[in-house]
Amino acid sequence: MSWDAVFISLSDACTLLSRTSSRSIGCSVVMSILCLVGCVQDSPPSSRERAVSLLLEMLHDEGPEMRRTAAESLGKIGDPRAADSILLLMHDPASVVREASVLAMGRLKPTATDGVVALLTQALEDPDESVRQAAVVAIGEIEPSSRLLEPVLGSLRSSDATMRRAAARALLQVDSSQSVPALVAAGRDSDAEVRQGIVAAVGEWGGAAFAPWLRERLAHDPSPGVRAEAAYRLGMLSDPETRAALSTTVAKDPDSGVRRWAKRGA
């Protein structure tokens, strides 16, 4: 099938969608054809332009599944001109559309401006877990600079534990080496999952300079998950103090999972 044939069919499907009394049938037709959009990267420029133009229009469709599909497809095509239009969908009333728009932003990798990072940081606060997870992925994809990470770091002070968890996961995904002191300052969070995320980020980006802090978490954190994370991160280091701390954990920690990770690194 030629690309011209595909896009004539897509146009016909959209006409059907606007006229049919059964919107679900028309939607299925359009969405089936859009499965071909993944090949647009290798198609002639004229076909790509028509695909992008149509998909941009579909971002305003009244059906959330259509908007979701359009955002996903634009992300796969990777045309940076779609970024501004997709950004607007981050406030869509449908969570599936918000998730798709956030993931598309990660694929498009727009310049990490203050505005883009601010919107993705807001997505970390979304009431839907899938949207928060998408924001974590997108922030990792666009790799904002240390200065632009300030809103994400600020989220570690949120009163909402789910927001703090998402922020910790996001800081693990990007170069947070300049933010390690701020992570350490937040490392005694009341939520164990947040603490574990912070330990992971400190271990990933802090290096040997923060081994004493990780050893303290290994010895004293009340959560087995946090201690296991600290043991895993310390297992990548080779200084005598760290080896001794891991050996002590193997002998004394009450949790078998923590002992297992410590033994691997000792």
Q: What is the pLDDT of residues 217-234, one digit of tens each?
A: 999 999 999 999 999 999
Closest CA to 73 of 111, 38, 41, 47: 38
**Spatial CB neighbours of 18, under 8 Å, sequence gap ≥ 6:** 26
Q: Would 34 be classed as within a structural domain?
A: yes
Q: How do residues 15-53 score in pLDDT, each as one tens digit?
A: 434 444 444 444 444 444 454 444 445 555 566 778 788
Helices 240-252 and 211-220: angle between axes, nearest 10 degrees:
10
What integer pLDDT is reported at residue 23 of this predicted model?
Answer: 45
Q: How do residues 170-205 score in pLDDT, each as one tens digit?
A: 999 999 999 999 999 999 999 999 999 999 999 999
Whole-number average pLDDT of the chain: 84
**Spatial CB neighbours of 158, under 8 Å, sequence gap ≥ 6:** 125, 164, 167
Position 5 pLDDT exceeds 60:
no
Q: How do residues 97-116 score in pLDDT, each as one tens digit?
A: 999 999 999 898 888 788 88
**pTM over 0.75, yes/no:** no
Distance CA 131, CA 141 (A): 15
Q: Would 20 be classed as within a structural domain?
A: yes
Domain boundary among 53, 79, 105: 79
Query: Could you give the 3-state DSSP secondary structure of residue 106?
Result: helix
Domain boundary among 45, 79, 113: 79
CATH number at residue 12: 1.25.10
Closest CA to 53 of 18, 82, 12, 90: 82
Domain count, the chain: 2
Distance CA 84, CA 104 (A): 11
Give burial (CB, 10 Å; 0-12/13-18/19+) of 81.
Answer: exposed
Helix (H) or strand (E) holding 28: helix 23-34
Q: Would 227 be classed as within a structural domain?
A: yes
Q: Would 181 be classed as within a structural domain?
A: no
Give the residue numbers spanning the domain of 20. Answer: 1-79
Task: Give the helix ranges, DSSP H, for 59-160.
Answer: 64-77, 83-87, 95-108, 114-123, 129-142, 150-154
Answer for the pair 59, 67: CB distance below 8 angstroms, yes or no: yes
Domain boundary among 79, 95, 113: 79
Q: How many residues does the chain have?
A: 266
